[in-house]
Amino acid sequence: MRVPARIFASAEMLDAAFRDRTAQQLVNTATLPGVLKYAMVMPDFHEGYGFPIGGVAAMDAKTGVISPGGVGYDINCGVRLMASHLEKEEVMPYLRDLTNALYRACPSGVGESGRIEVSSRELDELMVEGARWALKQGLAREEDLAHTEEEGTLPGADPSKVSARARERGGDQIGSLGAGNHFLEIDVVEEIFDPEVAKAFGLQENQIVVQIHCGSRGFGHQICDDYVKGFQSSVRKYGISIPDRELVCAPIDSPEGRAYYSAMACAVNYAFVNRQVLAMGVREAFRDVLRGKVRNYDLYQVYDVAHNIAKFEEHEIDGKQVKVCVHRKGATRAFGPGRPEVPEAYRDVGQPVLVPGSMGTASYVLVGTKKAMELSFGSTCHGAGRVMSRAQALKKIWGPDLKQELEERGLVIRAGSTKGLAEEAPVAYKDVSQVVEVVQSAGLARKVARLRPLAVIKG
């Protein structure tokens, strides 16, 4: 190991890191060239491909490596939170109609086509321009971009580094949820923990909000797959010793490393556009169902965060500002007050951090802290984290029974398949409240608000 490994967990959670490959994968990550300070996992950790989910590792930008497995297959999987001007009682009479409208407006399911289809030239443009491309097409508002990580555009994208197969898979999936753990939820703000920060974020108790969780679909998956295969030879070419072939990597400052970063940035920008187009679908659904029935049906964007990404950032290490490439895989940036990367509207309080739970459980809005900058390169958890694989969940849970159980609890459920519903059952995940307590106790983020789901659309 070149640096220590650090696990953020409660005593109860810690055992879980040794029941699957999380701890071993974290140790393996700590052996990579150029890794600085320590490799770590957030409390929503579980085994992943090469790197553990919940993993954070910062590589020296000059001497370190970049690893597709350290970013993940669903590049820039992330969460967007939109808030309404409505209270729960105004929406409840129309909740079922609204859920049906959202289900129609936001396609979900494996291989499902999206809301828009783009030409090859347009695909090139959106890979480079990200959410700004959506703005030019009338699919975004300026304030949406201002409240999106990187303002919806990661620099450095180069479409020539993306394969024909990835382009083929991505051309018709823009504006779709996909499957797996992706979802769209109508929530109510159940409790406010920090009134000052909540006010800055535009949140208040009993308010209706919407979460969108999805990523770069088959486009990003194919890019990761292409470079995982290509990097098998890169480790031999550069003489990099890795304890697990899933950790294939290349020097950041090499033709292979630069090519992967450029292709990954294309997928990051694709995912920002994907969530942006879905957000416009959500606005349309609210308008179609609620127009003439409530005082104001419009939705404004609180924030959009990325989960699976590698980014160049500057952090203080041993008293010096160092440029690093931070890998966050199933982890969320959680920058504290004062950082220029935080939107101007939130710069005095810190970055919004969105931590979705599983169906039927709470989700949280947190705020980034200065302590996170010291402890975790400004990172925190991204969700509840699995305790059960999808295969295990399918053996224990029958989708139709779960749907009935959730609906008896008052939730409106729409799902592409009951199999997918079973795979994402609440019991397959950790208790998100316990995960959030760990990050708050460690100082990685602070609680602002808790959300409770009213309606769930699963991929």
Query: CA-CA distance, 286 to 252, in Å (whole number)?
Result: 44
Chain-centroid distance, C-alpha 288: 28
Query: CA-CA distance, 228 to 235, in Å (whole number)?
Result: 11
Query: CA-CA distance, 177 to 111, in Å (whole number)?
Result: 10
Active site residue 46: no
Distance from first CA to last CA of the chain, Å, rounded?
39
Query: CA-CA distance, 403 to 418, in Å (whole number)?
Result: 8
Residue 180 gets the label, from left (phi > 0), alpha (psi -120 to 50) or beta, of left
Contact call for residues 39 and 69 (beta carbons, < 8 A): no
Q: How deeply is 50 buried, as exposed, middle or buried, from its count of CB atoms within 10 A (0-12, 13-18, 19+)?
A: buried
Query: Which of 412, 398, 407, 418 has the alpha carbon at shortest distance from 456?
Result: 412
**What phi and psi values does residue 241 have, to the nearest 5 degrees?**
-90, 120
Which of 147, 182, 307, 382 does the annotation list as catalytic? 382
Alpha-carbon separation of residue 70 from 129, 191, 379 (angstroms): 24, 35, 15
Query: CA-CA distance, 286 to 52, in Å (whole number)?
Result: 38
What angle in degrees, to the nearest 10, is found between the helix axes of 255-290 and 120-129? 100
**What phi and psi values does residue 442 have, to the nearest 5 degrees?**
-80, -15
Task: Report the DSSP pairing between strands 65-66 and 250-251.
Answer: antiparallel
State the sign of the Cα–Cα–Cα–Cα dihedral 108, 113, 117, 118.
Answer: positive
Show the CA angle centred on residue 117, arms to residues 112 and 119, nearest 5°: 140
Query: CA-CA distance, 237 to 231, in Å (whole number)?
Result: 9
Query: CA-CA distance, 83 to 97, in Å (whole number)?
Result: 19
**What phi and psi values does residue 359 have, to the nearest 5 degrees?**
-55, 135
Query: CA-CA distance, 313 to 302, in Å (whole number)?
Result: 23
322 has which bridge partners? 315
**What phi and psi values does residue 144 have, to the nearest 5 degrees?**
-65, -45
Q: Position 156: which residue type?
A: G
Longest CA–CA span in the chain (Å) reads 66
Catalytic (active-site) positions: 382
